Amino acid sequence: MKMLEVKNLNVELGGVKVLDDINFDVEKGEVLAIIGPNGAGKTILLKSLIGLIPFRGEVRWLKGVKTGYVPQRMDIETDVPLTVKEFFRLRGKLATDEKIKEALDFVQLDESILRAGLGEISIGQRQRVLVAWAVVGSPDVLLFDEPTADIDIAGQESIYKMLYHLQKNLGLTVILVSHDLNVVYRHTNTVLCLNRKNLCFGAPDKVLSTEQLLALYGGENAFFHHKHD
Amino acid sequence: MLVAVFVAAGASLLGSFAILKRMALVGDALSHVALPGMALALIFKFDPFIGAIAFLLTAVTGIWVIEYRSSLSLETIVGVFFTASLAIGALIMPEHDLIEALFGNITELTLRESLASIALSIILIVSLLSIYKKLTLNMVSEEMAQSIGIKNRRLEFIYLLSFALGVALGIRFVGALLMGSLVIIPAASAKNISRSLHSFMSGSVVFGVIAAALGIYVSKTYSFPPGPIFILISSVIFLTTLFIRQAKKGL
């Protein structure tokens, strides 16, 4: 069953074309990774999928699908006067104590984190809190924008583990932006290579040839040493 | 005094969101816009509150439109146009009213005006409390707010409207120059010592109310204008909370 169909998606920001004729679709229960260099438009793509950014073309979700969105980063100060529990409560009546506890279990966080300030916890912990926050809304699809720069390798690995755990146990469809090709090979069904245009789309071991990666990242060295912002 | 307490409660609640949104200076400059409105009201002999709120509503609508249409930074636009309007207001304001308009004087309110101010403050507080969750979410992450179906633009407009109302109410109390402080200082103080949203919002209101009550009392006893006294008391509270914060960090 197709969860999402995207046809001829075009996004312009301030007169500059940032996404050019993107086409792909996502099956129910699969994990799609969006990869590409910095400035490729990965976050923009994710945002336009859920209508955060105006676009031209077609984004067709399966009827009645609920999406949960986990942003790359939050623009908050470390001393923001908001506890994790209150942050959940901002969702409204949906966020009962029970639901929150359940969601925290899924992301493998201890309940004690509820008393901490949202700005105080580590970025890895906050990422889990954000995922749990999305899970409270019982989404069918989780859109996850990976925060690479701010998180160490071990932290990333455990977040991925958690995501696949979620996908297995809740039957979630996951669309994620990833910078880590290992992750893509190991955990995803489909990959979309993006550099303003659709460069490849399909199963990772089929479409991710060396030539394809060269085209995407502009040379082997550039790929191995490219920096995240 | 009752009027001051209610107005201060409303304004400090507004302030807690202004701080969350990090638009403290925008709020300050915005309050200057009321001045030409008040001046026109005094010249053409209608209620200065009407003049102030008319100008403020125009200004917040302007801010709201510009925020989504223009690539210029909001701070720049606000900084230029709103200080200019302060200058215009100062020029056309009848001279003997100028000091009062700039620094406020709540002791001269009639009973009807007082009741109206209290009623409007209550409306302001109730409406802010009814949207505070959405508002906070909008301020920590617009994207997450939108992802659960919150209409950010509309919400921001409602907030700006409440801001205009709060400023128009407070301006009789502390005047156009000091209005920004009425909104910001209690919330900034509360932030120093709060970790939770709950204690932040209530702390802000408590500080605002204490400073207002004490300010009116002191100004009556020693016949000072209440506005500056209020600000000074709030500043003392701010410094105290800052000290507490540092002391806590040191532990």
Please tell me the least confidently modeled range out of A158-162, B87-91, B115-119. A158-162
Q: Select from B216, B210, B217 the least CA-distant residue to B236.
A: B210
CA pair distance A23, A31, nearest whole angstrom: 17
Distance of CA B86 to the CA centre of its chain: 16
Q: Give the total number of structural domains in chain B.
A: 1
pLDDT of amino acid A78 = 81
CB distance B64 to B156 below 8 Å: yes
**Are residues A1 and A62 in contact, defined by beta-carbon separation less than 8 angstroms?**
yes
Q: Does any domain span residue B57?
A: yes
Mean pLDDT throughout A123-136? Answer: 87
Residue B106 lies in a domain: yes
Helix (H) / strand (E) containing A199:
strand A197-202
B202, part of any domain: no
Higher pLDDT, B124 or B248: B124
Q: Cβ contact (<8 Å) for B140 and A67?
A: no
Residue B4 near residue B169, CB atoms below 8 Å: no
**Measured distance CA(A68)–CA(A136) in Å, rounded:** 9
Smallest Cα distance from B138 to chain A, Å: 10
Name the residue in chain B with its Cα closest to that of A74.
B141
Q: Kindly tell me if the per-residue pLDDT of A225 is higher than 50.
A: no
Q: Which CATH number do you get for residue B108? A: 1.10.3470.10
Q: Residue B237: is its pLDDT beyond 90?
A: yes
Inter-chain CB proximity A71 and B199 less than 8 Å: no
B203 within domain boundaries: no
Going by DSSP bridges, is the β-strand pair A67-70/A2-13 parallel, antiparallel, or unpaired?
Answer: unpaired
B231: burial class by Cβ within 10 Å (0-12, 13-18, 19+)?
Answer: buried
Q: Which residues of A touch B199 (CB under 8 A)?
A: 81
Residue B17 belongs to domain spanning: 2-180
Q: Whole-angstrom Cα distance, residue B215 to residue B227?
A: 8
Residue B78 lies in a domain: yes
pLDDT of residue A152: 67
Which range, of A159-163, B36-40, B89-93, B184-188, averages the lowest pLDDT? A159-163
Helix boundaries (H) for A50-152 = 84-89, 97-106, 123-136
Higher pLDDT, A14 or B219: B219
Give the pLDDT score at B203: 94
Q: What tokens were used for B28? A: 């300050």
Q: Is the pLDDT of residue A222 over 50?
A: no
- Does residue A140 surpass a pLDDT of 70? yes
Residue A147's pLDDT is: 65
How far the first Cα of chain B sits from its last, in Å, is: 39
The vertex-A103 CA angle with A101 and A104, nearest 5°, equals: 65
Structural domain contains residue B87: yes
Confidence (pLDDT) at B106:
65
The pLDDT score that the predictor gives to residue A221 is 46
Flag whether B186 is in a domain: no
Amino acid identity of residue A18, one-letter, is: V
Residue B195 included in any domain: no
What is the interface pTM, i.e. ipTM, of the complex?
Answer: 0.80
